[in-house]
Structure 1
Amino acid sequence: MRTPRTGLAERRRLQGLSQEALAERLGVARTTITRWELGEVEPLAWVRPALANALSVSLDDLALLLTPAIRDAHATSDHAPTPGISTNALYPLDDDELLDVAERRSWLASLDVSSGKIDYLQPAVEWIIEQDERVPAADLQAKARDLRSYLHPLLRSPHRPATAARLFAVAANLSGAQAALSLDQGHLPSARAYAAEAFELAEATADPDLMAWARAAQSLVEYYAGHYREALALADDGLARAPRGPHAVRLSVNGRARALARKGDKVGVDHAVGHAWAIRTEHPDPETPLTASLTPTVYCEPRAAGNAATAYLALGDAGRVEQYANLALDTFDTEGFTGPQAMTRLDVATALLDPAGGDVERAASLVADAYRIGGAGSFPVRQRVAEFVDAAASWVALPAIRDVRELVTRHTIEEGVHVDI
């Protein structure tokens, strides 16, 4: 390792700066700092004021740090410049060229959004993702729109590639969150538009995991729109981009398994659910017992189990519905996520209407529980309620089912939400 021959290195260390940090502050390469400290070249005139400021010295003191060491280096180096010939003479640049280079470097330095702005935006978007299903969707959507108004002008500015990748990733996460919030409120066209935007922003980052995450959001929207073929195709595309990434679990069980179940493909559902559990073992367990619905990490077991229960419900496999629901409900109840609590109860309730050996009384009780919990206001939950009411049509004469229909009607009037009964 070559020994510095100037006083710059010592002064830099006294300021608590690494070579990388000083180079970033001045807008030069780290190797340039190394060459200054070795005395191989002198800083050009245009950068000296910024260098002196970074080192908290005057220009005169900066000259003292440089000149003796440079002279010593020239006297001892085997490759010292010929006396009377400046270093710049070996690589001649006239004043106009130097000004052109300085102007271009100034333009380059102006491209970046400050890291502080991104450091503000990223956790704000992550907070919205974490609060989904905890805070009313309309409230979160209002906060998301405020963030969008701040973020979008930044996206329209020119950036260095690394900054652009960070900004586009944050924007993709925000669009995906807005897709889920729109879906929760039953605004399917908006949900579809936001989900498509999320994928396009993710594609701009060239991050396969982020693209897979966005495809999962698109698949979710199409599933609840009843477009099962499209939901399956989007999930498959996400898996193709990151086949064993953290979002492969969600894509397999939330995307593939549920869409295949609607198409009656039992073998496909078994394979998709099995694949989700296999992928989970390849990733560290999440830090929290219940991950967010749009988690940027791997799906937790309760989330995966809740989705598996929904898939087997569509196949009419009541035993599997209860098996997977039991893996999910305790955690849903403990963590207080009312949407998953209600949806899983409704899945079990609908499965209990099996004519071969169902339990209509218990089914009606579970539906009442879903309303008691308070998780019956979102569009996905209302859709499940409608499916239960439709499946219970054969038992409409029973008091328990009549009570459920009255409950649904009353809630529809009181909350102003629509459920077909």
Structure 2
Amino acid sequence: MNDSGIEPDRQPTTVADRLAREIKRLRLDAGLSQRVLANKIGYSRQYVSMAEWEDANLPSQELVAAIDAALDARGTLTALRAQAKTDQQTARNAANPDHPLRGTIAATADGTAPAEVRSPAHYAQGTTEELIDVLGRIQKLNRSIDPAIVEHLTNSTHLTIEQYETIDSSSIVGGLVKQRAWIDELIDECSHPSQRRQLFEIAGQTSGLLGFITAGLGNFPLSRAYCLEAFQLGGFAEDMNIQAWARGLQSFCEYYAGRYHEALRYAQDGLNYAKSGPQSVRLTINGAARAFGKLGDTDGVRRAIDESCALMEQNNAPAGAPSSISLGCYSAAQVAGNAATAYVSLAMPIRVEEYVNRALPEMSKSNSPWGRSLVIIDLARSQILSEQADLDYATALMLDALDISEGKPMIPVRRRAAEFAQDVAARWGSSPQLSVVRDALASLRDTDERC
């Protein structure tokens, strides 16, 4: 109200105000929220919100053009902005008609007046644009991922690792590859430090799973790449347990690739990350002890087995036979099974049977078909290595072991079964038993090709 009690007239609507209202109207007509529209055009929601403010500075030409296209405005929004820009320039010129250099100095290369003839309004506009840039950077710094998505990915990946023994690996490869690619996108979108660490953890575990699967399928070059990626992602996540876990996967890959010195090197380096934590047991028994066995180092095998037993006690080892790639500690049954494998390589059948007898009861109760299969293969090999060898019994054990892992022709099963056949041929030459085992192995290869 003024002194006369009459309300003054509102300022007349500007073209810039019409532009802001038209952007909002078209967006609402399209049924889009500001956030959805922002995602469609590649800007933050704050930019779209500012474009809908009346009495605000003009949004940039690029932003209006993007909104025009997204809302199918057919150029009406860009035309309104051009008209608003002309009106603003006319108003600025009218506000300073007597400037001695007005109209006499050429525009700069970007089409604006040189600095010495720019009006205070120009600097206000520039300051606002800089403010928007700063606000945009703040928004980028605060970008985060829905915590429910991070939690779901974490739980799902951990469950896959813990239940790996019961899963047909060929059925999950595609999903893991897709998950790994999606996590990279989430990392690019996320600026929140703790969430980024979580995403790096999940990415490392996903790559590790893919490395283990591809090693089991005999694709060692691809396995090496995935395992190395898992190790590096563990570093980005600042999680030494994942790095130790990844070193164990690298050792596994090199063991079945026949590079036993490399397998030992990765296992020993992994212990620098594991310290005396849960992964130290797996690295010592599955990595070091087995590699020592292949290298013919009896003392090394004994030391590694003793160390793994001591480390197992420090880490409250679980009962039964958990996943062979668990992020936790190996069990007593798993330590015994790997000790048996190490002694097979040293051709020490009495020690093999001792550790098989410790491992087999728990392995038989577990849900790991190929875990049981590997222990029985070690027992079969111990039978043909002993002085009182029983070829018929050993062959029966081998066929049972291959039966157990039917449909899961992993490299560890095929490789150890082939070593059994080599041992039989070396001791007895051609025999009916050897033919039966070779037929069973050929059947496994056929299954692998069909898979």
Per the normalisation by structure 2, the TM-score is 0.67
**Equivalent position of 2:288 in the other structure:** 256
Mapped pair 1:401 → 2:428: no
Call closer, same or farther: CA 1:236–1:417 in 2, change over 3 Å: farther
**Equivalent position of 1:25 in the other structure:** none
Percent of aligned pairs with the same amino acid: 32
Alignment match of 2:161 (pick from 110, 126, 129): 129
**Equivalent position of 1:280 in the other structure:** 312
What displacement does 1:180 show? 0.9
Call closer, same or farther: CA 1:105–1:414 in 2, change over 3 Å: closer
What displacement does 1:141 show? 1.1
Measured on the aligned residues, the alpha-carbon RMSD in Å equals: 2.5
**Equivalent position of 2:412 in the other structure:** 380
Q: What is the 5 A alignment of 1:214-293?
A: 214-286=246-318, 289-293=320-324
**Equivalent position of 2:220 in the other structure:** 188
Q: Which runs of 5+ in 2 are unaligned?
A: 1-126
What displacement does 1:102 show? 6.2
Call closer, same or farther: CA 1:138–1:103 in 2, change over 3 Å: closer
**Equivalent position of 1:300 in the other structure:** 331
**Equivalent position of 1:340 in the other structure:** 371
C-alpha contact 1:128 1:140 (8 A) present in aligned 2: no
Alignment match of 1:203 (pick from 235, 243, 264): 235
In structure 2, what is the Cα distance between the partners aligned to 1:413 and 1:121?
35
- Rg: which structure is higher? 2
Call closer, same or farther: CA 1:378–1:175 in 2, change over 3 Å: same
What displacement does 1:379 show? 1.2
Mapped pair 1:320 → 2:351: yes
> What amino acid does structure 2 have at the position aligned with 1:140?
I
What displacement does 1:324 show? 1.2
Moved more, 200-209 or 245-254: 200-209
In structure 1, what is the Cα distance between the partners aligned to 2:134 and 2:447?
69
Q: Which runs of 5+ in 1 are unaligned?
A: 1-94
What displacement does 1:331 show? 1.8
In structure 1, what is the Cα distance between the partners aligned to 2:131 and 2:448?
70
In structure 1, what is the Cα distance between the partners aligned to 2:321 and 2:161?
13
C-alpha contact 2:218 2:411 (8 A) present in aligned 1: yes
Mapped pair 1:360 → 2:388: no
In structure 2, what is the Cα distance between the partners aligned to 1:114 and 1:344?
44
In structure 2, what is the Cα distance between the partners aligned to 1:399 and 1:141?
39
Call closer, same or farther: CA 1:402–1:252 in 2, change over 3 Å: same
What displacement does 1:412 show? 3.7
Q: Cα deviation per residue 1:334-378 (whole Å; 9 max; x = unaligned)?
A: 123111111111111112112523222211111110122134611
**Equivalent position of 2:58 in the other structure:** none
C-alpha contact 1:137 1:184 (8 A) present in aligned 2: no
> What amino acid does structure 2 have at the position aligned with 1:313?
V
> What amino acid does structure 2 have at the position aligned with 1:395?
W
Q: Cα deviation per residue 1:33-68 (whole Å; 9 max; x = unaligned)?
A: xxxxxxxxxxxxxxxxxxxxxxxxxxxxxxxxxxxx
Q: Cα deviation per residue 1:10-44 (whole Å; 9 max; x = unaligned)?
A: xxxxxxxxxxxxxxxxxxxxxxxxxxxxxxxxxxx
Call closer, same or farther: CA 1:279–1:295 in 2, change over 3 Å: same
In structure 1, what is the Cα distance between the partners aligned to 2:402 and 2:179?
33
Moved more, 353-362 or 138-147: 353-362
In structure 1, what is the Cα distance between the partners aligned to 2:380 and 2:265?
30
C-alpha contact 1:165 1:204 (8 A) present in aligned 2: yes
C-alpha contact 1:191 1:221 (8 A) present in aligned 2: yes
Report the 3-state secondary structure (helix = DSSP H, G, I; strand = E; otherwise coil) of the residue aligned with 1:362. helix
What displacement does 1:161 show? 2.2
C-alpha contact 1:396 1:402 (8 A) present in aligned 2: no
In structure 1, what is the Cα distance between the partners aligned to 2:415 and 2:154?
33
Per the normalisation by structure 1, the TM-score is 0.71
In structure 2, what is the Cα distance between the partners aligned to 1:228 and 1:306?
19
In structure 1, what is the Cα distance between the partners aligned to 2:444 and 2:267?
34
Report the 3-state secondary structure (helix = DSSP H, G, I; strand = E; otherwise coil) of the residue aligned with 2:385. coil
In structure 2, what is the Cα distance between the partners aligned to 1:340 and 1:197?
26
In structure 2, what is the Cα distance between the partners aligned to 1:242 and 1:272?
15
> What amino acid does structure 2 have at the position aligned with 1:399?
P
C-alpha contact 2:418 2:441 (8 A) present in aligned 1: no
Mapped pair 1:179 → 2:174: no
Q: Cα deviation per residue 1:275-307 (whole Å; 9 max; x = unaligned)?
A: 111001111232x62211110111111111111
What displacement does 1:400 show? 2.9
In structure 2, what is the Cα distance between the partners aligned to 1:379 and 1:416?
13
